[in-house]
Amino acid sequence: MKILQVSRQFYPAIGGIENVVLNLSRAIIQRNHHIDVATLNRVWGDYRRLENLDEVFEMMVYRLPFFGSERYAIAPSVLKFLSDYDLIHLHSSDFFLDYLALTRFLHKKPIVLHTHGLYFHTPFASGIKKAYLHTVTRLALRQVAAVICVSRHDRELLRGIVPEEKIHIIPNGIDTSFLELANSVRDPNLILSVGRLAVNKRYPLLLEAFARVQASMPETRLMIIGKDQGELVNLRTTASRLGIADKVEFVGESSEKTVKRALANASVWASASGYESFGVGLLEAIAAGCVPVVQRLDAFSDFLEDGQNGFFTDFAQPALAAEQLLCGLTLPAYERQWAIQEGQKTARRFGWDQVAAQVEAVYCQVLESENRRDG
């Protein structure tokens, strides 16, 4: 089977969707299929043009010129690369979905869409997004053979828009090497948060809660790892206003090695994010042996059980969130070990091998259906 993955951003870009496309592709290659990738020729925030043709981990990568904005990057040359493939696996619900659906009569390739939260990661233009979902995206989805939702939350977004028989809920996976970090010797005073410095991550609320933790435990520190998307200056200002600037470290965009080192060292992993389609960062933290304290989100509830392998809270109430962070930091040794063990049981279900097997089954179902129709 020959599959073309289509994603706006791909390696060397770092991020949730980028990592999914890379790791899923590598796992599917291990199942004796051929994978290549079509993506844009620039990484967001970096104006250098990447090579038009590249090879990454046994995959050919076609890097496409584009115009327009990051929100809707227009790259019609993608059509030139479809002919050699049996199926298109699409990880973009904006231009690529609209365009490949519109031109389906030309390229005649079955399309599988991976939702990744669609385009609802921030509250920006939420009314317009909802209208777009129920009009343009609804029409485009008629040309999609199958939709892979990464969570129940994503399925709810598409309820009534996509026939149930087209929808498959397949969670994202994690690198099982994170499980090897669980027995590390940890800094009992370190709180870690990993994620882009973006509005939807609500880092100001985390800083407010951490300031209250600091008042009770002055030795605590907060490390934040993630690429700045225009929030860093404001966050530094907020930390200074709260009197915690010397206790908060903004690491910036980092390699997996750096993230793993931090996960092996931290006692608590925190997220005040107001929106996640899946939450792979949380799953990696659970696998690595951190005790998570996170905003109560539907996507997180798929693998976090409150009081068992972590804690839910409401970061809109800083005093309550601080109380839960303190609880995570001061867990008795036997309770911490119990939480780690429960977390590892959960994380083991999300290895990329298991995820790739489910995605492969969707591919086979789609191609069998196409063959029956053409026959």
Report how far residue 232's alpha carbon sits from residue 348's, in angstroms, rounded to the nearest whole number: 34
Report the alpha-carbon distance of residue 77 to residue 141 in Å, rounded.
21
User: Which one, of 142, 94, 99, lies nearest residue 119 by Cα?
Assistant: 94
Which regions of the chain carry the CATH code 3.40.50.2000?
2-173+351-374, 176-350
pTM: 0.79
Q: What is the mean pLDDT of the chain?
A: 92
Q: What is the mean pLDDT of residues 50-74?
A: 93
176-350 has which CATH code?
Answer: 3.40.50.2000
Using CB atoms within 10 A of its CB, is residue 71 exposed (0-12), middle (13-18) or buried (19+)?
A: exposed
Angle at 18 between CA 292 and CA 229, to 5 degrees: 70
Which is it for strands 34-40 and 291-295: parallel, antiparallel or unpaired?
Answer: unpaired
Rounded CA-CA distance 215/374 in Å is 68
3-state secondary structure of 192: strand
Average pLDDT over residues 98-111: 96
Under the banding of pLDDT at 50, 70 and 90, the label for residue 214 is very high
Domain spanning 2-173+351-374 has what CATH number?
3.40.50.2000
User: pLDDT at position 121, please?
Assistant: 54
Give the DSSP H or E segment for 283: helix 280-288
Picking from 374, 12, 346, the residue whose alpha carbon sits closest to that of residue 179 is 346
Report CA Rg, the chain: 21
Backbone angles phi, psi at 290, to 5 degrees: -80, 150
Q: What is the pLDDT of residues 280-339, one digit of tens each?
A: 899 999 999 999 999 999 888 878 999 889 999 999 999 999 999 999 999 999 999 999
Q: Is the predicted pLDDT of residue 345 greater than 70, yes or no?
A: yes
Question: What are the structure tokens assigned to 334, written together?
Answer: 């036997």
Cα angle at 325 between 200 and 211, to 5 degrees? Answer: 75
pLDDT (0 to 100) of residue 15: 79
pLDDT tens digits, residue range 119-154? Answer: 655 555 567 778 888 899 999 999 999 999 988 888
Residue 373 has what pLDDT?
A: 78
Specify the amino acid at residue 302: D
Interval 234-277: pLDDT, tens:
999 999 999 999 999 999 988 889 999 999 999 999 999 998 87
- Residue in 370, 351, 371 with CA at minimum distance from that of residue 30: 351
The mean-pLDDT minimum among 51-60, 68-77, 126-135 falls in 126-135
Give me 70's structure tokens. Answer: 């990051």
Which of the 8 DSSP states describes residue 164? G
Looking at residue 263, its pLDDT comes to 97
Write down the pLDDT at residue 359.
98
